[in-house]
Chain A
Amino acid sequence: MVALLPRLRRFASGLARDRADGDDLVQLTVERALDSRAQWQPGTRLDSWMMRIMRNIWIDEGRKKTRRAQTFVAEEAGIAVGGDGGQEAAAELGDVGRAMNRLPDDQREAVMLVLVEGYKYAEAAEIVGCPVGTLTSRLGRGREALLHMLGEAA
């Protein structure tokens, strides 16, 4: 599980809209996974299982987080800059981060799972808990929007 932490942080950094929220999400995921590790079936993929836990927590917490983020976003970004050892949150976010943050949650999740985490369509659909067709259509819309926003629509 320790070896998975960097990947969980990567996935969380895409789901949550800022890094501090992302690490909170990882922490909750780790706690939930440790508490319910008896439910994990050895022989199945630990990474998929943990990604599923993470996205479920993210969905559960989503509404709360978004409200909080809207209220405190400036302040939290300020704290994150110090906490990240001097990395500039704004610069770090960049065009890609901003474009991703503008995608609807379901599309962002599909893009992260397939294009960043490298899951096959079927695996990503299982993590999300939706039919493969739904996953690919979210993925397609997300990509179109990203290509458009990043100026590669031509």
Chain B
Amino acid sequence: MTRDADTVRAFVDGELDDLTAARIAREAQGDPELASAIAAERRLRDTLGTHFNRVLAEPVPERLSAPVEAARKVVSLDEARQRRFGFNARTLRWAGPAMAAALVLAVAIPALQRGGQTESRDSLTFAANDLAQALDTQLVADQRQGSETRVLLSFADQDGTLCRGFARADLSGIACREDGGWHLRVQRDGVDLSANDYRQAGSVDSAILAAAQDMAAGPALDAAGERAARASGWKRR
């Protein structure tokens, strides 16, 4: 019944309503063919993500960022002028819709994200709540059984930004400490941390370690390095 490819794809893309999505998830449990179609689509998403996300970790060439930085200076001059003279008509005209849109975003986005462990700002995904706290405080060395987030490693990228690979039941990935918080540069599926599913955990771990290897400028931080990094608030080195 649910064999048609468009529905399977829409399911994987999160485009179905909750009811239909739940029905398909149920059907997939008793239908190996459907389950494998879903798995193939998910793998394709992952494969594409791994391939194209490497760009995100690279430093942006100056010829691309320089014009934006230059324009930003001009804009902030305008803003300074505006602060002196109060709001102009343009600001007022847009303020209402902009605030309404911001409110819609604020309400809509947490619901879309997985379990509230991430939030979207400027269309980038940042760690939130428990995940953000774990990344701030938890060290690889003093990991306890039963904690919800497992930190796999910490390292510095080519810019000296500190990044941490992690795994949770709802998602795993690599987050890097930027001005706005822990920016998720790599996002992957969750891992069942409670069950003894070493195979599944192992494949996600190794995917993250491989991604980390591509991003890292040197070896992973040792225990002392991690403690020092935490003490400095994970500031860029």
Contact = CB atoms under 8 A, between A and B. Distances in A.
Interface of A: 1-7, 9-10, 13-14, 23, 26-27, 30-31, 34, 37, 41-47, 92, 94, 96-97, 100, 111-112, 114-116, 120-121, 136, 139-140, 143-144, 146-147, 150, 152
Name the 6 nearest CB pairs between A and B, nearest first.
A43-B98, A43-B101, A96-B51, A47-B123, A10-B55, A6-B56
A6 B55 contact: yes
A16 to B, nearest CB: 12
B71 interface: yes
B141 interface: no
Interface string B173-192: 00000001000000000000
A14 B68 CA distance: 22
Given A2-B68, A9-B58, 9 more contacts: A2-B60, A5-B60, A6-B58, A41-B94, A43-B102, A46-B123, A94-B51, A116-B49, A144-B5
Nearest to A146: B44
B147 to A, nearest CB: 28
Contact of A26 (B5, B52, B64, B72): B64
B56 A150 contact: no
Contacts of B101: 43-44
Contacts of B41: 143, 147
13 contacts: A7-B123, A9-B60, A13-B52, A30-B67, A34-B67, A42-B98, A46-B123, A92-B54, A139-B9, A146-B48, A147-B40, A150-B44, A152-B43
B64 A27 contact: yes
B107 interface: no
Interface of B: 5-6, 9-10, 13, 15, 40-41, 43-45, 47-49, 51-56, 58, 60-61, 63-65, 67-69, 71-72, 94, 97-102, 122-124, 180
Contacts of A9: 55-56, 58, 60, 64
Main secondary structure on A side of the interface with B: helix
Contacts of B40: 147, 152
Contacts of B43: 152
Nearest to B122: A3
B42 to A, nearest CB: 10
A34 B66 CA distance: 12
A121 B55 CA distance: 24
Nearest to B40: A152
Contacts of A94: 51
A152 B52 CA distance: 19
A4 B44 contact: no
B68 A1 contact: yes
A44 B94 CA distance: 11
Contacts of B56: 6-7, 9-10
Contacts of A5: 60, 64-65, 68
A112 B52 CA distance: 9
A59 to B, nearest CB: 20
A26 B65 CA distance: 10
A2 B44 contact: no
Contacts of A23: 61, 63-64
